[in-house]
């Protein structure tokens, strides 16, 4: 299998900061890959270098084997990018916008595909409307459509669901998943970690321009050896003075533990203090817990 | 040229054509107002070339001024708007070369300048019928001059980060260069100091050469004017291409 994206020793220096400090990364063809990190971690810089919007200070980046600088035409033909910012050209209708974007990639008679993309994104009823007349969610859909006009094998979505309602989010993920099943490589950055957990097979976490974790989503989740119990308790819990219990809303408490013996000890202590357990829910740590721990400790 | 270039050119043409009221009609009316006012005030006092009335003298200057200002406005405003709204990304993501980028913006700017110039010529003909002695010279100066200002508009649009900066470029460079270039007068009527200053203004040569195409008479030799216009075009094109190749203020 070939690398859809290959990044070697990528460095990006700005006068006031170094946004990327030697990033190495490979995303294989057909993967649904997550790129996570706090604000300012370097995700957008990395994407911008891959897309040719930013030039690296050192290192190399390639899309489907084509260098993004020396073979930029081949690289860009194989890449579709949904930018983070909600941008549009106010002079044109949705259909004009997509036809123009298609033309930039040398595709003249592309209406069948454009109609299919608009259909999947529920844009067909708005095709003849000016971009200015669309809601924010609809503009976001057009951005996604623009990234797909040339059927790129690699699609990068930079926080595509920021400020987007639930129905669009679901429709978008359904469409993107279907593209992934057809063989398109998907790279996603998002601050909604539950989305990344549900969609991505592999995840890289960036912090201060460095990759601090790179593994399959399953392995990353398995790193979280902590469990969390949420208990609804009746009785004077505060007076009982039980260590490790933290308030979590009215009558609810949280207890984090690694071994079940710790939970057994907690329940025994509660019984001793005549505190009744009315409800108990157990959960493994999710990607958010893993993310927070990795970011805090690296 | 690639299909990508054709599309970018088409997009740029469509962009100004969709707001033709503002981008074509308004400058034509402005030029017409200049003609009416200046010809009314000065036509009985000034005659520059034998057998050419002041109103006739004024028309080629106004046509060229409109060509220059609108060629500059087209490329500069398109780029600054795209940069500020962020939609420049749609042009930077596709596989377009910097040369295609340059040529598409330049050609669209030239077309707008020439369309406005033609509009000014057509509406002013009713006031001042003109003869055309040297059509090739006329067309050469129109093309070269719109190219110079279209290229300069690309430089300004790429360089400016705010509308203020672009306005400064327009108000402190383009406007003085065009107004002080012999649109409304012959430089022979100026005092020696301003006569000398005008000879350092490349726009003067563009207008003077353009006028030669109509009347067969000019303040300086048309060959010299053509050399200046062509030199400016090559210099601006070289500068613009170098900036775009570096990705100056576009690809950080």
Q: pLDDT tens across B21-52, in order?
A: 999 999 999 999 988 888 777 666 666 677 77
pLDDT tens digits, residue range A25-61? 999 999 999 999 888 889 999 999 999 999 999 999 9
Q: What is the pLDDT of residue B45?
A: 67
Cross-chain CB nearest to B4 (options A51, A89, A103): A103
Asked if B136 reaches chain A (Cβ–Cβ under 8 Å), the answer is no
Beta-strand ranges (E) seen in B9-150 are none
CB A28 within 8 A of CB A3: yes
The nearest CA of chain B is from the CA of A105 a distance in Å of 6
- Which of A80-89, A167-176, A229-238, B104-113: highest mean pLDDT? B104-113
Judge whether residue A72 has pLDDT over 90: yes
Which of these, B218, B200, B199, B202, lies nearest to B210 by C-alpha position? B218
With CB atoms and an 8 Å threshold, state whether A74 touches B86. Answer: no
Residue A1 pLDDT: 56
Beta-carbon separation of A53 and B252 below 8 A: yes
pLDDT of residue A160: 85
- With contacts defined as CB-CB under 8 Å, which chain A residues touch B97? 73
pLDDT > 90? residue A286: no
Are residues A55 and B251, on separate chains, in Cβ contact within 8 Å? Answer: yes
How far is the C-alpha of A23 from the C-alpha of A10, rounded, in Å? 5
Measured on CA atoms in the order A91, A96, A102, A103, is the torsion positive or negative? Answer: negative
List C-alpha distances in Å: A188 to A43, A47, A201, B246.
10, 10, 11, 29
Question: What's the confidence (pLDDT) of residue A235?
Answer: 85
- Domain A3-222 in CATH 2.130.10.10? The answer is no
According to DSSP, the residues that pair with A228 across neighbouring strands are A256, A283
Distance (Å) of CA A167 to CA A171, A174, B11:
6, 11, 33
CB–CB contact B4 A108 (8 Å): no
Determine which of A63, A104, A107, A155 to mutate to test the interface with B (most B C-beta atoms within 10 Å): A104
Averaged pLDDT for residues A133-160: 93
Higher model confidence: residue A209 or residue A191? Answer: A209
Cβ distance B149 to B174 under 8 Å?
yes
Mean pLDDT for A238-243 is: 74
Q: Please tell me the distance from the alpha carbon of residue A190 to that of residue A179, in angstroms, as a whole number.
A: 18
**ipTM greater than cut 0.90:** no
- pTM given for the model: 0.87
Structural contact between residues A196 and A203, judged by C-beta atoms closer than 8 angstroms: yes
Mean pLDDT over B85-94 rounds to 95
Q: Write the pLDDT tens digit of every residue in A112-124.
A: 999 999 998 889 9
pLDDT tens per residue, range B215-234? 998 889 999 999 999 999 99
Q: Does B96 touch chain A (CB under 8 A)?
A: yes
- B81: nearest CA in chain A? A89
Q: What is the mean pLDDT of chain B?
A: 92
Q: How far is B8 from chain A (nearest CA, A)?
A: 7
Say what the pLDDT of residue B43 is. 66
Domain boundaries, chain A: 3-222, 227-285
Q: Where do we find the tokens 């997509």?
A: A98
Residue B46: predicted pLDDT: 67
The mean pLDDT value for A192-212 works out to 89
Nearest Cα residue to A82 out of A101, A106, A104, A62: A101
Using alpha carbons, select from A187, A5, A163, A160 the residue that is nearest to residue A83. Answer: A160
pLDDT at position A116 is 93
Q: Position of tokens 């290959």? A: A6
Chain A residues whose beta carbon lies within 8 Å of the beta carbon of residue B91: 104
Asked if B212 contacts B236 with a C-beta cutoff of 8 angstroms, the reply is: no
Which whole number is the average pLDDT over B10-16?
96
Q: Classify domain A227-285 by CATH number.
A: 3.30.70
Q: Which residue has the higher pLDDT, A162 or B45?
A: A162
Among A103, A130, A132, most B C-beta atoms within 10 A, so best to mutate, is A103
Tell me what pLDDT residue B159 has: 96
Asked if A87's CB is within 8 angstroms of B85's CB, the reply is yes
Report DSSP letters for A14-61, one per residue.
-SS-EEEEEEEEEEETT-EEEEE--TTSSHHHHHHHHHTSS--SEEEE
Per-residue pLDDT of B99-149, as tens digits, reads 999 999 999 999 999 999 999 999 998 888 888 999 999 999 999 999 999
Hey, which residues 14-43 in chain B have their CB within 8 Å of chain A?
A: 14-15, 18-19
Q: Give the per-residue pLDDT at B83.
A: 95
Q: Which residue has the higher pLDDT, A288 or A277?
A: A277
pLDDT of residue A171: 85
Q: What is the pLDDT of residue A260?
A: 86
* Domain ranges, ordered by start, for chain B: 3-246
The mean pLDDT value for A161-177 works out to 84
- In angstroms, the CA B164 to CA B173 distance is 14
Placement of tokens 């969709």 in the chain: B18
Instruction: Sort out which chain A residues have CB atoms less than 8 A from B104's CB and list them.
Output: none
**B195 touches A at CB < 8 Å:** no
| A-to-B residue pairs, Cβ atoms closer than 8 angstroms | 79
Distance CA A5, CA A257 (A): 39
DSSP-derived secondary structure for chain A = --EEEEEEEEEEE-SS-EEEEEEEEEEETT-EEEEE--TTSSHHHHHHHHHTSS--SEEEEEETTEETTTTHHHHHHTEEEE-SS----TTSBHHHHHHHHHHHTT--S-HHHHHHHHHHTT-GGGTTSBGGGS-HHHHHHHHHHHHHTT--SEEEEESTTTT--HHHHHHHHHHHHHHHHTT-EEEEE-S-HHHHHHH-SEEEEEETTEEEEEEEHHHHHHT---EEEEEEEES-HHHHT-TTEEE-STTEEEEEESSHHHHHHHHHHHHHTT-EEEEEEEEE--HHHHHHHHHHH-
pLDDT value at residue A197: 85
| Of A235, A284, A286, the residue nearest A260 (C-alpha) | A284
**Which pLDDT belongs to residue B82?**
96
Query: What confidence tier does A74 reach under pLDDT thresholds 50, 70, 90?
Result: very high
User: Would you list which residues of chain A are within 8 Å, Cβ to Cβ, of chain B?
Assistant: 48, 51-55, 72-74, 76-77, 79, 81, 83, 85, 87-92, 96, 100-108, 146
- Mean pLDDT, rounded, for A185-192: 91
d(C-alpha A78, C-alpha A4), whole Å: 9
CB spacing of A104 vs B85 below 8 angstroms: no
Q: Would you state the structure tokens that stand for residue A193, as one six-digit string?
A: 């970690």
CB pair distance less than 8 Å for B91 and A104: yes
Average pLDDT over residues B91-98: 95
Contact A74 B95 (CB under 8 A): yes
Q: What is the reported pLDDT for B194?
A: 84
Work out whether strand A185-189 and strand A154-158 pair parallel, antiparallel, or are unpaired. parallel
The listed range with the strongest mean pLDDT (A106-110, A126-130, A137-141) is A126-130
Q: Which residues numbered 211-250 in B keep a CB inside 8 Å of some CB on A?
A: 247
| pLDDT at position A106 | 92
Q: Are A33 and A200 in contact (CB under 8 A)?
A: yes
Residue B164 scores a pLDDT above 90: yes
pLDDT in tens, B151-162: 999 999 999 999
Phi–psi pair at B128, nearest 5 degrees: -145, 90
Orientation of helix B26-42 relative to helix B98-125, angle to 10° = 50
Residue B122 CB-half CA count within 13 A: 10
Q: Point out which residues pair with A233 in neighbouring strands.
A: A277
Please state, rounded to an integer, the average pLDDT across all residues of chain A.
89
Chain A residues with CB-CB distance to B83 below 8 A: none
The per-residue pLDDT for A220 is 81
């Amino acid at each position: 299998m070939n690398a859809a994206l290959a990044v070697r020793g990528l460095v990006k220096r700005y006068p006031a900061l170094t946004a990327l400090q030697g990033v190495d990364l490979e995303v294989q063809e057909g993967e649904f890959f997550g790129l996570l990190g706090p604000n300012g971690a370097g995700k957008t810089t990395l994407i911008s270098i891959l897309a040719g919007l930013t030039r690296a200070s050192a290192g190399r980046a390639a899309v489907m084997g084509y260098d993004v600088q020396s073979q930029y035409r081949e690289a860009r033909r194989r890449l579709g990018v949904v930018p983070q910012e909600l941008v549009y050209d106010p002079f044109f209708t949705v259909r004009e916008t997509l036809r123009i974007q298609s033309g930039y990639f040398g595709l003249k008679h592309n209406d069948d595909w454009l109609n299919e993309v608009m259909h999947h994104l529920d844009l067909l009823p708005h095709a003849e409307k000016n971009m200015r007349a669309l809601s924010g969610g609809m503009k976001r859909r057009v951005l996604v459509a623009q990234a797909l006009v040339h059927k790129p094998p690699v699609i990068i979505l930079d926080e595509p669901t920021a400020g987007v309602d639930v129905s669009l989010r679901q429709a978008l993920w359904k469409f993107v998943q279907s593209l992934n099943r057809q063989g398109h490589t998907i790279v996603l950055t998002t601050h909604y970690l539950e989305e990344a957990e549900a969609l991505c097979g592999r995840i890289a976490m960036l912090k201060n321009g460095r990759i601090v974790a790179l593994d399959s989503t399953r392995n990353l989740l398995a790193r979280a050896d902590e469990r969390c119990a949420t208990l609804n308790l009746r009785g004077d819990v505060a007076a009982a003075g039980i260590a490790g219990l933290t308030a979590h809303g009215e009558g609810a408490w949280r207890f984090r533990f690694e071994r079940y013996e710790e939970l057994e000890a907690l329940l025994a202590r509660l019984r001793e203090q005549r505190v009744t357990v009315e409800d108990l829910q157990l959960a493994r740590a999710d990607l958010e817990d893993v993310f927070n721990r990795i970011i805090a400790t690296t | 040229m690639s299909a990508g270039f054709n599309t970018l050119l088409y997009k740029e043409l469509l962009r100004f054509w969709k707001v033709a009221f503002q981008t074509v009609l308004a400058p034509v009316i402005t030029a017409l107002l200049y003609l009416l006012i200046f010809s009314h005030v000065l036509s009985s006092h000034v005659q520059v070339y034998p057998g050419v009335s002041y109103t006739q003298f004024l028309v080629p200057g106004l046509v060229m001024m409109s060509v220059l200002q609108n060629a500059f406005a087209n490329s500069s405003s398109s780029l600054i708007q795209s940069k500020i709204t962020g939609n420049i990304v749609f042009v930077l993501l596709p596989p377009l070369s910097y040369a295609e980028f340059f040529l598409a913006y330049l050609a669209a700017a030239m077309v707008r300048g020439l369309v406005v110039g033609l509009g000014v010529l057509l509406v002013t003909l009713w006031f001042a019928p003109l003869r055309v002695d040297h059509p090739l010279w006329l067309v050469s100066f129109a093309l070269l001059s719109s190219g110079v200002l279209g290229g300069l508009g690309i430089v300004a649009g790429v360089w400016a980060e705010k509308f203020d900066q672009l306005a400064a470029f327009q108000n402190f460079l383009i406007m003085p260069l065009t107004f002080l270039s012999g649109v409304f007068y012959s430089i022979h009527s100026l005092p020696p100091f301003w006569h000398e200053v005008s000879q350092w203004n490349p726009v003067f040569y563009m207008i003077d050469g353009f006028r030669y195409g109509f009347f067969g008479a000019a303040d300086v030799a048309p060959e010299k004017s053509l050399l200046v216009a062509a030199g400016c075009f090559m210099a601006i094109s070289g500068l613009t291409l170098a900036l775009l190749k570096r990705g100056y203020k576009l690809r950080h």
